[in-house]
Structure 1
């Protein structure tokens, strides 16, 4: 398999426009190579869809499990080598100008061999990288990537070994780099927050009693689309009644009637950059206990802004929020008090590799440019009239002087259909 030169079409307005200037992508790749040198990796095969978008601007609606869409980066080369199925040749060639050379798999051959799809494509990929002279040192794949499948990644890694490279796990290397957002990325996330806020405002404005949960979702999606918001990497949640106890259900055909309390949790997404927001709604004037609970719990965000500063561990967000809720006697209602690093994401995953409770893949400290969401999800086990819980979620940006919340909306309960 031979890599071919890809024409730079980034200046052609008829093609998909790049989210950022080429220099932004070049700087990202330079940071990745610097991190590779720091950890002793000579060649990194990147296949995580979000990381591919981050480094090149490439975006696709299908990342196959059987054939590896990916990018080979060498620590000492500005060149890039992109891999994809031959059916995506047009997509790669005309999508953007950040892929200089690409090699395409011809999948349908050697059909008699067991595992012919992932075995032949893995061999082709390894042989092509070997021809570049990039398998003479330490090589890595992203074992925690969502695509391709783990079997394909295993065959690629074994091929690297057979070609003479020493292999290590390259998971989270790119994620560490993209954890801190550039000014251009922050601007994109602010745009995503405007899109998210517009969705909530549209629901407040256009809701009518008797609408199904799925109709309310449609209001939000239409409002986001009108502002250029695309499909987010996490599906929108509109939940009410008993569904609130499930926490992660899809919008149903349940009708929202006067007296109901419901929650919307959604992401605005612009060029794959996300801003997460969730609010609690009441159809008509709610039982005063709902208002008191939301008004009391929302102050936890104010405490977090006051107390969490650059250099603090991410875990401090949860510690401050939990301490406040405990001080007012409602911490026991917390189903989930926490969050994740957020930013660029491709379906079906929308969060990064660090969690605010420090219990996931890696932990991190806040520095200017770090963006996370914070979720304040409370259950009401008594079954108050209208619902079973509340939710406030916002996206937090750490700046030089502290945290800024991207959303401009109130975190009070939203009364609709009155």
Structure 2
């Protein structure tokens, strides 16, 4: 996937919206890609695939000359406002809905035209090498013999569906046009699972890194970043679930009952994706607590070593401090002052004090060992 609208980017776009602008005004981002037009026309016995980039008039003629076929018109890129307006006019799209397409950061939703055509929005997701959720908008318009799709990038997650359509044995080519809209939604939902699997693997790596002897740098930042991505993923899946639930409530003349069974299966997939997201969110919260707890334990180990070292040197400091006091041995007239450290002038005074200090240290070490402070007990 290419250009992706993050939460921060969406906030920036919201700030740049012109206040008081007429509803339905179409705007194209400066960085939007040049539109490429792809057509898949098929029925049970026929399949034609062609790119019509820079040949929109020929595409329109083809559609009008072959009403007996089913058509998937895939528009990738929004960087031509005139073409977007022409598509809106030729396919009878409402300006407000076309505005939602070009704004490119809509929640998943479904809307019904007066003539029972549908407008649907889904969010395609991927877990990128930069270890973050990448999502793009997929907008669908259904018609009597076509599905018109819009996306802002040339790459997507729909290649598996294109392969199915190309197959001569595909049941998709025998089903009504609304089934293609379902299939597109289902592929988007199915692609949530590789995204969640990649997130799950990354969470396991973070958990192992917590207990590693040599931790990666900024480990807590990585944990908090993946937590943010999981929360964002949940915000993407919730509207998708609500959209499918709304489709299931549509009357049979809009969504036939024989197709609702497929959307019920898609609804189950959305629920499973949400359950995974909830589970991962709880795992990451536990991971954060585990990291902080382990960090506290490591700090305690450091403080334990420092405390032991300090405890050993406290009596030694007392001894050397005591013998560092400068009391005179005599009163200056030859009279010895017996209470003023006479051992300072003993021949073996210095070695005796060193021996005393050594004995004190050994007694402390034996005591610490028996208490288990020098081991991991």
Give the alignment's TM-score, normalised by structure 1. Answer: 0.27
**Structure with more strand by fraction:** 1
**Structure with more helix by fraction:** 2
Give the alignment's TM-score, normalised by structure 2. Answer: 0.30
Q: Max radius of gyration: which structure?
A: 2
